Structure formats: structure tokens, C-alpha cells
């Protein structure tokens, strides 16, 4: 999962990652495992205080993933 971009300002850090893999195992958003390949990005925002993560938010386009794995 390579980091595409990372930005830090004050107590906030934001990073974008790219995930690639095969849809196996458990269902995703009600879609049973299809064995199809999927590639999607995830953006995460962290708030840091005294060297510890005190808040985390992540954003992913689940509709993009579903579009790729649906049979």
C-alpha cells in the first residue's frame, strides 16, 4: 500500500494510500466475494497531540470498490 501523498500542518496529518487486491473472503457492502481485482484510494486524517494519535478519520469511495467487484 504505497503512500501517494502526505501533508502535515500543525497537529494534523493527512495521507492518501492506494490499495490493490482481490476480493476474497468476507462480503464487502453486501457483495459476496467475487475474486475480482480492485484498486482504490483511501485518505486518512490524523490529529496528533503529545506524540499520540488522538483523532482519526478516514475516507474511501465505497461505490468505486463496489463498481469494480460486482459480478
> Residue 46 belongs to a domain with what CATH number?
3.10.450.50
Query: Which candidate, 58, 65, 49, 51, places its Cα nearest to that of 15?
Result: 58
- Give the model confidence (pLDDT) of 40-49 as tens digits: 999 999 999 9
| CA dist., res. 24 & res. 67, Å (int) | 15
Dig out the grid coordinates for 4 from the structure. Answer: 501517494
Q: How many structural domains does the chain have? A: 1
pLDDT single digits (tens) 24-65: 989 999 999 999 999 999 999 999 999 999 999 999 999 999
Predicted TM-score of the model (pTM): 0.71
Residue 1 pLDDT: 76
CA angle 45, 32, 19 (to 5 degrees): 30
Domain extent for 13: 3-69
* Alpha carbons 56 and 44: distance in angstroms, whole number: 7
Amino acid at each position: 500500500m504505497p503512500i501517494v501523498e502526505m501533508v502535515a500542518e500543525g497537529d494534523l496529518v493527512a495521507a492518501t494510500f492506494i490499495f490493490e487486491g482481490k476480493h476474497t473472503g468476507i462480503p464487502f457492502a453486501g457483495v459476496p466475494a467475487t475474486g475480482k481485482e480492485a484498486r482504490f484510494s483511501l485518505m486518512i486524517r490524523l490529529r496528533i497531540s503529545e506524540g499520540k494519535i488522538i483523532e482519526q478519520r478516514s475516507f474511501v469511495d465505497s461505490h468505486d470498490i463496489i463498481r469494480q467487484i460486482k459480478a
